[in-house]
């Protein structure tokens, strides 16, 4: 929680009008609704967030209700819930079977009725996510759930390509850039130029405030001082 608050404050300092959402970390909201409300209040007061996000569907409805009743907006998160991936058998697609899809819809209705202003739908087949979106009156934010959701979210590090080659990427990730490759290119060019003394070039250095004659006199004084110390 302390780490998350630190990140939240950093984001808050850099924003002017963005609607910020603080992601409640595992262990800060599952114990009971009262515990969750205390964490949410810290996110708003100390983290300077405007809302909070938490994972879970029908079972988290009382918690969402508790927080929203206190006047703090909640973004819900259903489908693949990363904080609970061990209980789901890993990072696997949800809603693939009839029973799983029905549970997803029940979860969506539950968080909506509990007062969530929107819901993240992660790693769900497109047709299922689109149907869920149509059934709700709150927006759905898809990540790996197709283009039928109300909006989309993608991890910035993933979309920018800010990771080394060979790293596993979920199917839904699209690289819009290659920050890692460009960074390596720049670092290697810097190393080469430093070794060859091409950098710093004259345009990267500060000029002297003395004439060449004065500099020569400066050198002479240094030599005299050195000779007197021998």
The catalytic residue positions are 122
Is residue 70 within 8 Å of 101, Cβ to Cβ? no
Q: If you write DSSP's letter for every residue of the chain in order, what string do you get?
A: -HHHHHHHHHHHHH-SS---EEEPPTTSSSS-HHHHHHHHHHHHHTS--SEEE--BSGGGHHHHHHHHHTT--EEEEEES-GGGTTTTTSS---S-SHHHHHHHHHHHHHHHHTT-SEEEEES--HHHHHHHHHH-SS-EEEESS-TTSSEE---HHHHTT-S-TT----TT------HHHHHHHHHHHHHHHHHHT-SS-GGGSPPPSS-HHHHHHHHHHHHHHHHHH-
Nearest to 177 by CA among 198, 153, 161: 161
Give exposure, 59-81, as e/b (b: 16+ Cβ within 10 Å).
Answer: ebbebbbbbbeeebbbbbbbbbb
């Amino acid at each position: 929680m302390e780490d998350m608050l630190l990140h939240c404050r950093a984001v808050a300092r850099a924003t002017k009008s963005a609607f910020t959402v603080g992601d409640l970390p595992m262990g800060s909201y599952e114990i009971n609704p009262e515990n969750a409300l205390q964490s949410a209040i810290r996110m708003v007061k100390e983290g300077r967030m405007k809302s909070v996000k938490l994972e879970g569907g029908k079972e988290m409805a009382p918690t969402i209700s508790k927080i929203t009743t206190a006047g703090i907006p909640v973004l819900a998160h259903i489908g693949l819930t990363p904080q609970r991936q061990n209980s789901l058998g890993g990072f696997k697609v949800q809603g693939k079977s009839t029973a799983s899809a029905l549970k997803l819809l029940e979860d969506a209705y539950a968080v909506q009725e509990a007062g969530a202003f929107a819901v993240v739908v992660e790693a769900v087949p497109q047709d299922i996510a689109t149907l869920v979106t149509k059934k709700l009156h709150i927006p759905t934010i898809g990540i790996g759930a197709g283009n039928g959701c109300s909006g989309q979210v993608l991890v910035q590090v993933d979309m920018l390509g800010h990771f080394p080659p060979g790293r596993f990427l979920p199917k839904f990730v699209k690289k819009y850039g290659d920050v890692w490759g460009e960074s390596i290119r720049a670092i290697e060019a810097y190393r080469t130029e430093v070794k060859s003394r091409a950098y710093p070039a004259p345009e990267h250095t500060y000029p002297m405030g003395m004439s060449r004659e004065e500099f020569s006199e400066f050198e002479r004084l240094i030599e005299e001082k050195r000779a007197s110390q021998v």
